Amino acid sequence: MTLSLNPATLICMPFFETAMPQPPTIVSEARVNHYLQAFYQANGQPFVPEDSHVREWLAGENQVSFTTMAEALVTQIVTRTDLSDLDMVILAHWTPDAELGQAVTNYVLHRLALEDTFAFAFSDTGLVSPVMALDCIDRYLPSQKGKALLLVMDQNSLMFHSPVVDQHPISNAASGMVVERNSAGRQIHVRIHEGTEPGAENTVLQQVSEQYGLMAESTTVICAPEIAARLSPQRHIRCTRPDLLCAAPFWEMQQAIAAGGPFAQHFVLLSQHQEKFYVLIVTSGRTL
């Protein structure tokens, strides 16, 4: 069984400040700080008042909710393919939604009038959440004619301190795509490798290149700049933009596909989380 991506359904979008519903008057700064403290405790983390950005979050500046992003993505994708027969709707993100209490995948189910569709979200595996989401799709999508909608998004309005957001500018950005079982389009493969030894990223690339018959002259490797710095100079590499977080690799792949050329035949999206490398191989079809 294989997964396929129709490049025409791959949408990447930036989002700018939009009007957000103001929190109810009962949502005071003290009440949200109390929630935040409980949130930290539930995750086994100490909470200090300096970690709170609740006042700024309540002000609602530059906020874009995930439902706003989902609506924009679905509106474009539905013009390119039929979404009435989805088996799965999966959301992948790292940052939390700017609007608390919203079930984004349920919103999509309602928006598309889907009644028997499985919906789920991945949010606790950092930048590799989209890869984990695709691994989930590959495991559970029906073996015949299955179809899934993957939405990937992050936003920059957090109610708590985050080193990633505080030290680097983060953009409100999202991407969406439709993947299908045994269909035309680019084939997708997910692989997870241990990566504790020095030079592990080059070993992983060599292994997946041999397994899928990928030639350096027709393959683009997409990864974070810190990973790219450790790769062989013989590789054709596109570095991801740190401000785009989870959506970053798909932005680079979309741009490379649009530009065309020999290096746009196959892609290896390489990311690292803790002591593992997460690899998304996207091929144009037969490679050997």
pLDDT at 85 exceeding the cut of 50? yes
Same domain, residue pair 259 and 156: no
pLDDT in tens, 129-161: 999 999 999 999 998 889 999 999 999 888 888
Same domain, residue pair 62 and 190: no
Question: 110 in helix, strand or coil?
Answer: helix
Give the model's confidence band at 253: pLDDT under 50 very low, under 70 low, under 90 confident, else very high: very high
Same domain, residue pair 80 and 209: no
Question: Which of residues 127, 160, 181 is at a domain's end?
Answer: 181
- The CATH number for 110's domain is 3.40.47.10
Residues 6+ apart with CB under 8 A from 237: 220, 221, 222, 223, 228, 231
- Supply the pTM of this predicted model: 0.92
The parent domain of residue 243 ranges over 186-284
pLDDT in tens, 3-31: 999 999 999 999 976 555 555 445 678 88
Give the model's confidence band at 288: pLDDT under 50 very low, under 70 low, under 90 confident, else very high: very low
Q: Which of 173, 132, 172 is nearest to 150 (CA)?
A: 132
Give the model's confidence band at 287: pLDDT under 50 very low, under 70 low, under 90 confident, else very high: very low
Question: 189 in helix, strand or coil?
Answer: strand
Please return the burial class of 82, using the count of CB atoms within 10 Å of its CB with bins 0-12, 13-18 and 19+.
exposed
Name the percent of the chain lying above pLDDT 90: 66
Same domain, residue pair 141 and 227: no
Distances, alpha carbon 69 to alpha carbons 58, 81, 264, in Å: 20, 18, 27
Cβ contact 252:240 at 8 Å: yes
Return the structure tokens found at 163.
């080193």
Question: 164 in helix, strand or coil?
Answer: helix
Range of weakest confidence among 11-25, 70-84, 231-245, 262-276: 11-25
